[in-house]
Structure 1
Amino acid sequence: MNCITKAWSQHEAELRRFLRHRANDDAIAEDLLQDVFLRALRQKNGLCGIDNPRAWLFKTARNLLIDRLRLAKALVELPDDLANEEDDPAPPVDDLVQCLPRVLAELSPQDREAITLCDIEGMTQQEYARRIGLSLPAAKSRVQRARARLKARMSEACQVSFDADGKVEGFIPRFPEVF
């Protein structure tokens, strides 16, 4: 009789009781018992190199049970008539693009170039630094300052409001002024 068969026949009933008692569900206990057996089969040398196969089987069973319980999440059913708390939803952040041409036109040429190249066209700040002849730290500072001025201008021109985390909470879309 090999090591797995011997250990399994000696401890299967005890493992089953252990899992049924702790899982409080016979089906889950049986699934876990099968998983323990599969792990024993995959064990190098088939449990023959283990001093105490019983301890290994119970430790494996306990770990599998813990993993199963961690994954089990209680779901709470929500009533179908749950009212939407938000009566007047804020416009989507994507709509802020409507304000961008107006605000970009109001920025300095240097800020407009930094925002356009790095944030709109996707140029890396390293490429931007090489293009305008600045060191990388200086270019990064320029882009950061341009972003800060863009944010301030967007807040003013489009009346953007931010939540405590700095995310857009709401705004009033404004289109470019036509002269």
Structure 2
Amino acid sequence: MAESNAFECVLRAWEAHERALLAFLILRAPDRHAAEDLLQEVFLKAMRQGKDFCSLENPRAWLFQVARNAMIDAARLVKPHNELSDELAETLAAAPASERVPVDELDACVERNLPALEAEDRHIIEACDLQGQTVRAYAEANQLTLAAAKSRLLRARKRLRDTLVMNCQIRFDDTGQVCCHTPRPSA
């Protein structure tokens, strides 16, 4: 019965504010379809709140805040891109496939130097950076707090970077990006 009451509470608030939320999102989203998708996300988040939603002092404010956050999250996911000119596309197509940006050339150096790290550093870098595990998932799997896992990953990355700088003679440009390196031959 409590679930039914929570569901009704969310529906009442939704019916009262859905049109205003959609108008709010349409004004700010790239198109109507994106606004409707965001509106559905807001509805799902309200439904997930269940009985907690019914205890909100101001459900309208909560719904609009969730809508704002959903828009921000969606905007962060958008990767701006520019179309390549025909001339540049032809130049890139004609370039030898072996030409890679300097940071991509570090893969052999990383492979060679990763085993030299302490086991704890190697484990978190392999899990989070190479295998794509989230830091949160790593923390849970290794009985760490999220803050501890983030700190451990940051320190491990610093130690790997120092090792790569020393062993691969990495140099950085003015923006901090890898510009070049001279890998030492493997022993």
The structure in which a higher percent of residues are helix is: 2
Q: Higher RCO, 1 or 2 (CA under 8 Å, sep at least 6)? A: 1
Query: TM-score with structure 1 length normalisation?
Result: 0.47
Q: Which has the larger radius of gyration?
A: 1
Query: TM-score with structure 2 length normalisation?
Result: 0.45
